[in-house]
Chain A
């Protein structure tokens, strides 16, 4: 009962009912119009033929007198057909014709009358309806000419019943279709509602069923699913950040606490205290940096920033950052080269992209040195290329690179490769690069270190490339 009430109150059903009535009304109008026009036409035809027949007969009377008229009427009455004749004299006595029972009320002025009469068709008697007109001929003769109109009436009846039947059918079919359609819609919408309840209950991996039909409900389901996907990713990111904070920030905090406790336990000495405090500041500096980096990654990664994109001069961007790191590179026998060419300018957030490039250079300086670093100079190449739509910014070093198997993992937060532990770092550098690239609608690409090593002398180097979409507005499709 409840489901029936739900069905009857559903939008789809209401729409169906409304459309059914609109259709029924227009069908009634069309059929009514046809009925009205046809019956008008048929009636006029009857009247036309009666009138011309009467004219003809009155001419016969004028030329041949009453005898000729009687003859002609007798002749015509004998011929089979729908026409009815009756000629009466001044005392209303029948003189000729094929109407055997004279209808009453023939007196009066010439007019149209309708009456029932007995019709003999090949000996068969049948009651029929006639429409006739009275004419008064000179000499006080009354002439009645008419036609059987039973056919006409029958036709009218057929049309009327067609009208009512079709209206009835339209109503029944319309309501049935309405119920069916709204049942189907209700089933799909109930399924969506069930999915969303499940999602609300905490199962974020649940998705709304897509039928694949591509209709409007399906498209709604698709965009809802895309939205759910994004929400799930964001929540996943949040969860990862809080997990990361729990795991990786607790370690330095514990270290900090242990050191302070150890100093407090030891013999009091200004020198010990100073040393411990300085260490503490150092450690908390590292914590703050890590924290800031984490927040920046989370914020950039969530795409929540409100930074406006500007047109960045490529040469200035790469030149500035290379110049910032040049002395540092020089100190470890490395060289930073900006490869000319590429786009003159592109759209993006200068600060974020600079920071990402800085992180890549930082990595290159730490891990990307040539194997024979004493004799050969390490070269770090900064290069920008474009195909119009995408801008590729790459940092190439002379090191052994990141193995293919590790390449996806290093983009995660706090991931540091085994070989990295000799250098200080938080494991957040590449995560920020990945977040910045995603923020610009792109992805990070690595070269295959094995493949480039196989090339003659391994001279290609290992490059990390930020492929970003060159768009003025970050959120534009």
Chain B
């Protein structure tokens, strides 16, 4: 993917650019809002990563300006402010996702990749397929091979989100945010327990496991062994 990073902290930006490159993405870098806005308007990017507090033009203004001229490139906002109302402000300005500093690179990567591949997720498909696992979004039916698997409503939404982002790493906080709509950090790893329940239902009695744990990052649903 071709990305644009608008971030004034040079060291942090260099680290990010290097890490993104290692994961097969190319990224341009702008150190202030003015440069960032110029680059974002003239080039085609898959995802913009915008820090909130940058010189010359503030991050939120950059986002608003882009949205005003109907630029729909997905945007991930980075901010040192982690409060809920701050997050809401960022999303209201036109951001698609919000990540508060400090963050783990795995979290940023997972979110950027999720944003980059997100093309109108709601209307795209009514059925997700990974290997022999099928999820029918309209009929609420999950099948593995010939077997129909019965899931709790929340387990269904969990699997739906994982399958929407098949082959992509999904972090615990992403799951907590999108499946439960909570933006706080539960002290215990409640998500892990939900995942292991789901795994017991969709993977336990089958030869090839589909739901994999990515150490230090999150989970991925994929046919490929990890």
- Chain A interface residues toward B at CB < 8 A: 281, 285, 288-289, 292-293, 295-296, 299, 305-307, 320, 323-325, 327-328, 331, 349, 351-352, 354-355, 358-359, 362, 365, 425-426, 429
A362–B193 Cα distance when bound, in Å, is: 14
Which residue from B82, B184, B196, B197 sits with its C-beta under 8 Å from A355?
B184
Query: Which residue of chain A lies nearest to B83 when distances are taken between CB atoms in the complex?
Result: A299
Please determine whether A307 and B84 come into contact, CB atoms closer than 8 angstroms.
Answer: yes
Please determine whether B188 and A328 come into contact, CB atoms closer than 8 angstroms.
Answer: yes
Please determine whether A307 and B190 come into contact, CB atoms closer than 8 angstroms.
Answer: no
- The list of the 10 closest CB pairs from A to B, nearest first, reads A355-B184, A327-B193, A328-B193, A306-B85, A307-B85, A328-B190, A351-B84, A362-B187, A327-B197, A358-B186
Given A288-B102, A331-B193, does the pair A324, B186 have CB atoms closer than 8 Å? yes
Please determine whether B193 and A289 come into contact, CB atoms closer than 8 angstroms.
Answer: no
Please determine whether A292 and B185 come into contact, CB atoms closer than 8 angstroms.
Answer: yes
Return chain B residues, CB-CB under 8 Å to A331. 193
Please determine whether A351 and B193 come into contact, CB atoms closer than 8 angstroms.
Answer: no
Given A320-B180, A324-B180, A354-B182, does the pair A305, B83 have CB atoms closer than 8 Å? yes
Return chain A residues, CB-CB under 8 Å to B216. 281
A324–B189 Cα distance when bound, in Å, is: 10
A285–B189 Cα distance when bound, in Å, is: 13
**B167 → chain A closest CB, angstroms:** 25
Within 8 Å of chain A (Cβ to Cβ): is B194? yes
Which residue from A295, A323, A349 sits with its C-beta under 8 Å from B82?
A295
Please determine whether A351 and B182 come into contact, CB atoms closer than 8 angstroms.
Answer: yes
A425–B216 Cα distance when bound, in Å, is: 20
Please determine whether B186 and A425 come into contact, CB atoms closer than 8 angstroms.
Answer: no
Please determine whether B194 and A359 come into contact, CB atoms closer than 8 angstroms.
Answer: no
Return chain B residues, CB-CB under 8 Å to A306. 85
Return chain B residues, CB-CB under 8 Å to A426. 187
Given A292-B82, A295-B82, A307-B84, does the pair A365, B188 have CB atoms closer than 8 Å? yes
7 contacts between A and B (CB under 8 A): A281-B216, A305-B85, A320-B180, A324-B186, A327-B190, A351-B183, A351-B184
Within 8 Å of chain A (Cβ to Cβ): is B154? yes
Return chain B residues, CB-CB under 8 Å to A429. 187
Given A288-B102, A323-B154, A327-B194, does the pair A362, B83 have CB atoms closer than 8 Å? no
Count, chain B residues at interface, CB 8 A: 22
Given A296-B83, A306-B85, does the pair A324, B185 have CB atoms closer than 8 Å? no
Return chain B residues, CB-CB under 8 Å to A354. 182, 184
Please determine whether B184 and A425 come into contact, CB atoms closer than 8 angstroms.
Answer: no
Query: Which residue of chain B lies nearest to A359 when distances are taken between CB atoms in the complex?
Result: B187
Q: In residues 156-210 of chain B, which contact A (Cβ within 8 Å)?
A: 180, 182-188, 190, 193-194, 196-197
Secondary structure dominating the interface of B = loop
A429–B193 Cα distance when bound, in Å, is: 21
**B139 → chain A closest CB, angstroms:** 23
A380–B193 Cα distance when bound, in Å, is: 18
Query: Which residue of chain B lies nearest to A291 when distances are taken between CB atoms in the complex?
Result: B102
Return chain A residues, CB-CB under 8 Å to B193. 327-328, 331
Return chain A residues, CB-CB under 8 Å to B187. 289, 358-359, 362, 425-426, 429
**A194 → chain B closest CB, angstroms:** 40
Please determine whether A325 and B190 come into contact, CB atoms closer than 8 angstroms.
Answer: yes
A425–B188 Cα distance when bound, in Å, is: 9
Return chain A residues, CB-CB under 8 Å to B104. 281, 285
Return chain A residues, CB-CB under 8 Å to B180. 320, 324
Task: Give the interface centre of B84, B196, B216 by most chain A CB atoms within 10 Å.
Answer: B84
Return chain B residues, CB-CB under 8 Å to A328. 188, 190, 193
**A303 → chain B closest CB, angstroms:** 13
Interface contacts beyond A324-B194, A328-B190, A358-B184: sample of 6 additional A-B pairs, CB < 8 Å, sorted by A: A305-B83, A305-B84, A320-B180, A328-B188, A351-B84, A359-B187
Query: Which residue of chain A lies nearest to B196 when distances are taken between CB atoms in the complex?
Result: A327
Which residue from B85, B183, B188, B197 sits with its C-beta under 8 Å from A362?
B188
Return chain A residues, CB-CB under 8 Å to B84. 305, 307, 349, 351-352
A323–B196 Cα distance when bound, in Å, is: 15
**A377 → chain B closest CB, angstroms:** 17
A365–B187 Cα distance when bound, in Å, is: 12
A307–B87 Cα distance when bound, in Å, is: 11
Return chain A residues, CB-CB under 8 Å to B186. 324, 358, 362
B98-110: CB near A (< 8 Å → 1, else 0) gives 0010101000000
Query: Which residue of chain B lies nearest to A362 when distances are taken between CB atoms in the complex?
Result: B187
Return chain B residues, CB-CB under 8 Å to A292. 82, 100, 185
Query: Which residue of chain B lies nearest to A306 when distances are taken between CB atoms in the complex?
Result: B85
A293–B84 Cα distance when bound, in Å, is: 13
A14–B57 Cα distance when bound, in Å, is: 54
A355–B196 Cα distance when bound, in Å, is: 23
Return chain A residues, CB-CB under 8 Å to B182. 324, 351, 354-355, 358
**A286 → chain B closest CB, angstroms:** 10
Query: Which residue of chain B lies nearest to A287 when distances are taken between CB atoms in the complex?
Result: B102
B54-89: CB near A (< 8 Å → 1, else 0) gives 000000000000000000000000000011110000
**B140 → chain A closest CB, angstroms:** 17
A425–B82 Cα distance when bound, in Å, is: 21
A327–B104 Cα distance when bound, in Å, is: 27
Return chain A residues, CB-CB under 8 Å to B197. 327
Query: Which residue of chain B lies nearest to A278 when distances are taken between CB atoms in the complex?
Result: B216
Return chain B residues, CB-CB under 8 Å to A296. 82-83, 184
B118-144: CB near A (< 8 Å → 1, else 0) gives 000000000000000000000000000
**B19 → chain A closest CB, angstroms:** 14
A328–B190 Cα distance when bound, in Å, is: 6
Query: Which residue of chain A lies nearest to B89 when distances are taken between CB atoms in the complex?
Result: A306
A163–B84 Cα distance when bound, in Å, is: 75
Return chain A residues, CB-CB under 8 Å to B194. 324, 327
**B104 → chain A closest CB, angstroms:** 8
Query: Which residue of chain A lies nearest to B179 when distances are taken between CB atoms in the complex?
Result: A324
**B195 → chain A closest CB, angstroms:** 9
Please determine whether A289 and B188 come into contact, CB atoms closer than 8 angstroms.
Answer: no
A426–B185 Cα distance when bound, in Å, is: 13
Return chain B residues, CB-CB under 8 Å to A325. 190
A299–B104 Cα distance when bound, in Å, is: 24
